[in-house]
Amino acid sequence: MSHELLEKLRAIRIEDQIGELKKASDGPVLAEWMDHGVKFAASSDKIERVYYDALRRLLDCVVPTGSDKPILHEGGIYLGCWLESTGTINAELLSRFIPSVSQTTYELFADFQREDGLMPYKLTAAGPSYRQIQLVTPLARSVWNHYQLNGRDQAFLRKMYAAMARYDVWLQTYRNTRGSNAVEAFCTFDTGHDLSPRFWHVPDTPHRNDARSYNPDSPILPFIAPDLTANVYCQRLYLAKIAEELGESGQPWLDKAEISLNSLFQYCFDEADQFFYDRDKNDELVRVQSDILLRVLACEVGDQAFFDQALNKYLLNTRKFFAKYPFTSMAMDDPRFDPSSSYNSWAGPSNFLSLIRAPHAFEHHGRFVELTYVLYPIMAAFHKMTRFAQTLSPWTGDEGFTQTYSPAILCMLDYVERLCGIMPRPENELWFTGLLPYAVDHGEEIADATAYSRIVDGVSFELMNTIEESVVYRDGIASLRFPSGLRAVTDRQGKLKSFIGMSARTVEGTVVYEGQEWQVAVKGNEQLDLFDGIELREADTHRGVIAPSYR
């Protein structure tokens, strides 16, 4: 089986999988994908077909806008590019596959920055729009990761740094009316939380569609918003990294980040609930438990113990956000929770934007096994997918509102790579993950073997996964074997650095690398490092495994 699947992978022609192209820009975009050598094969033709359908539909979301260069569009009914998603986390994922489109997408937000420093919240064929701010994933993190992954273009980095620094001043000037040094929400759309009970009795847009104003007659506005404040906190952390890369001191940004963090906890964190809430103008907390928590954690707020507590109490709690198909956009034990996924809603259904934002929060704290609890059911949902919708039923995994939605498409491509593929990392590493999709729905098998390929710095890598073992091929020659259930971490040339336990069980077996063999037993989230090329030794990173809770 393994040899046959590897030959199947090698025989795949991406052009044949995609078929006839629809527009002139598709040719160069697809050629760039092919230059990265990314291909996926599975023992199941069904999941393989869904994968290439995702790629086919991704091309529909890459459209020239504002210039002759294509940028990423949100897709579905959303005809344009939104800063909260398309211009940040979506483009961050796309950087691993079609980096030129990601870079053009980032730069266009800088190109259309207003003189006062405000960046557009969206870009469409009609031009930029500045009506609201709509911030979630920090742009600076996405820009920094793109820079590290794709040639370290300093001219690009300088351009984006200058624009992001100006935007930081704008936010401090116009979204700090209460002097809290946090960031205020003036309307529902500022955070993209459409129809969320968090914003009941708050207008969807700022006062008279001016991002600098809120309704003066509102009895509750403005809100001191934890997700907006966390965004700026994390933004400043990465602006510090960028400043140092460009030869400046990062300390002023770190000082500002500390101010943001202190304000976040002072105004928005409830010690009793261990949760973040908006604070309204009456100094009352808006006690709606939404995916605000996941957003804040994805902005690198809190240490290991803080994140673990959030997993135990909320994210992996089946009364809160850990539905059969996580993560719900509202806590399930809130009477305002509405699981309906048939419309654009953040009142309950699982949203693909949450699903692509989540991995950074988990991986930042080394919670690799716990992230697989999310990957498995979502991969099962993809197995039956036909439209790539925005929302997902948290009960059944069925597709909901709209179609050809780029966050869902990119989620498919991203989750395959995280679960059983070859993933380039900003730290000049490659992850080779030896897991397989699991039959969580009615016992229906998704794939009992997968193969994945990628070209990195001119080196061709292939990963073959079976139930028993994983094999890495470097330029067609087997270079590494390890037991299924581990992740191998290498440098960009494929030199082994470490293994990570990716299963709740202890993974035991034989590692074969460069003529050497080791017997290993790796616990979940445990890391074994290779020392001097001859010894695999446990690193000081074993965190144990957190199980889902049903309390």
What is the per-residue pLDDT for 317? 98
Residue whose tokens read 């897991």: 435
Asked if residues 217 and 118 have their Cβ atoms less than 8 Å apart, the reply is: no
What is the C-alpha separation between 385 and 52, in angstroms, rounded? 12
Residue 269 backbone zone (phi > 0: left; psi -120 to 50: alpha; other: beta): beta
**Res. 205 pLDDT band, cuts 50 70 90:** very high
Is the pLDDT at 2 greater than 80? The verdict is: no
Is the pLDDT at 442 greater than 90? The verdict is: no
What pLDDT digit, counting tens, does each position of 255-278 carry?
999 999 999 999 999 999 999 999
Supply the mean pLDDT for the chain. 97
Reported pTM: 0.97
**Res. 63 pLDDT band, cuts 50 70 90:** very high
What pLDDT digit, counting tens, does each position of 305-341 carry?
999 999 999 999 999 999 999 999 999 999 999 999 9
What is the per-residue pLDDT for 1? 59
Asked if residues 502 and 369 have their Cβ atoms less than 8 Å apart, the reply is: yes
Residue 351 β-bridge partners: 391
The b-or-e profile of 187-226 (16+ CB within 10 A means b, else e) is bbbbbbbbbbbbbeebeebbbeeebbebbeebebbbbbbb
> 445: which 2 tokens?
């098998």
What is the C-alpha separation between 4 and 453, in angstroms, rounded? 15
Is the pLDDT at 472 greater than 90? The verdict is: yes
